[in-house]
Amino acid sequence: MRRFVIVGSKATASPDFLLVDIPSTSGRLDVLLRGLRAGLLVSHGLRRDSVVYLVLQGERERTTTLRFDGAAARYMRPDDRSLATVIQKALRTPCESAEFVPVRAGIAIARGGVEAVLPELSGAACHLLDEHGADLRDAPLDPNDIVFFLGDHLGFADDTRAQITTLTATALSVGPRSLHTEDVIAIVHNELDRREARATTQIPGDDV
Ligand SMILES: C[S@@+](CC[C@H](N)C(=O)[O-])C[C@H]1O[C@@H](n2cnc3c(N)ncnc32)[C@H](O)[C@@H]1O
C-alpha cells in the first residue's frame, strides 16, 4: 500500500469554485488535482495499491480532507476538469465527522486535516518529501505500507511541517531541484515500481 498525503495550504473546502477557473477560485486546487492524478491514475487505469489524501486547509476553521482509494474508486478520468468535478461533488456532502465518511465508491470525506489521516497510518513508515531530504534512491522503502507527505505550490506551513515531522521517519528527496508536487509523486511511484519489478523478476539460476 502506497499512500500520499497532499496538503493544500490555500485549497478551499467549499464546493463553490468555478470549473472554468479552478486555480484562482479554489486556492490552487489544480495543484492537488494533478497530485491526485499522479498518485492514483496510470494510463487507462487506476493504481489499486494507492491511496491519496487531499488536505484542504485554505480556511483553517473548516479544514477538510478527502480520501481517494484506488482499490475501490471507479470512473476516475485524468483531466483536471473531471477530477475537479469529482471533488466538487464530494465537497457537497455535509460532513462534521472527524472520521472518514463514504461519499461514493473509493471516495470519503472527513472534517479535519492531517490529524484526520493519522488513525489510518499506524504502523506505516511515514516520510516527508522535501528537496533537502535524504536521497530516495538510496533509502530503504517498505513496499507494503508506506506514506509520503507533500506540500502544494507554497510548501508546508510551519505548524503543519512540525506536525508531520513528529510522525515521519526520514525526509526524502527525489533530487536537488524543487519540483511540482505531481512530478514528485510520479518519481516516487516510479522508484517503487522499479523496485517491485526487480524484486519479482526471477534471476536465472536463483532457484537452483
Ligand atoms: C512546488 S513544491 C513547494 C515549493 C515551495 N516553494 C517550498 O519551498 O516548499 C511542492 C512540494 O513538492 C515536494 N517537493 C518538491 N521538490 C522536491 C524534491 N526535489 N524532493 C522531494 N520533494 C519535493 C515537497 O513536498 C513540496 O512541498
Compute, in angstroms, the gap from residue 71 CA to the centroid of ligand 1: 27
Domain with residue 78: its CATH number is 3.40.1280.10
CA 38 – CA 182 distance, rounded (Å):
6
Q: Report yes or no on 64 lying in a domain.
A: yes
Question: Residue 207 falls within a domain, yes or no?
Answer: no
Ligand 1 pocket list (CB less than 6 A): 129-131, 150-151, 153-156, 173-175, 177-181, 184
User: How many domains does one find in the chain?
Assistant: 1
Domain membership of residue 47 (yes or no) is yes
pLDDT in tens, 129-150: 999 999 999 999 988 899 999 9
Percent of the chain with pLDDT over 70: 96
The pLDDT of residue 203 = 53
**How many angstroms does the Cα of residue 173 sit away from the middle of ligand 1?**
9
> Is 16 a domain residue?
yes
* Residue 181 lies in domain: 2-200
Res. 123: pLDDT tops 90: no
Q: Measured between alpha carbons, how far is 5 from 82 in angstroms, rounded to an integer?
A: 21
Task: Render pLDDT for 184-198 as a digit per residue (tens, 0 to 9).
Answer: 999 999 999 999 999
Kindly state whether residue 208 falls inside one of the protein's structural domains.
Answer: no
CA 181 to ligand 1 centroid distance, Å: 6
CB atoms within 10 A of CB 53: 28
Q: How far is the CA of 129 from the centre of ligand 1 (A)?
A: 7
User: Per-residue confidence at 27, pLDDT binned at 50, 70, 90?
Assistant: very high
Residue 205 inside a domain? The answer is no
Asked whether residue 88 is assigned to any structural domain, the reply reads yes
For residue 116, is it within any domain? yes
Ligand 1, atom nearest to 176 Cα? 19
- What is the tens place of the pLDDT at every residue in 107-121? 999 999 999 999 999
Question: What would the pLDDT profile of 53-95 be if each residue is shown by its tens digit?
Answer: 999 999 988 999 999 999 999 989 999 999 999 999 999 998 8
Distance separating alpha carbons of residues 186 and 204, to the nearest angstrom: 31
Nearest to 181 by CA among 133, 108, 131: 131
Dist. CA 63 → ligand 1 center (Å): 21
pLDDT score, position 204: 56
Mutate to test the pocket of ligand 1, among 7, 135, 161, 178 (most ligand atoms within 8 A of CB): 178
Residue 208 identity: V
Give pLDDT, residue 181.
Answer: 98
For the chain, what is the total number of helices (H) and then of strands (E)?
Answer: 6, 10
Q: Per-residue pLDDT for 169 more than 80?
A: no
Is the pLDDT at 40 greater than 80? The verdict is yes
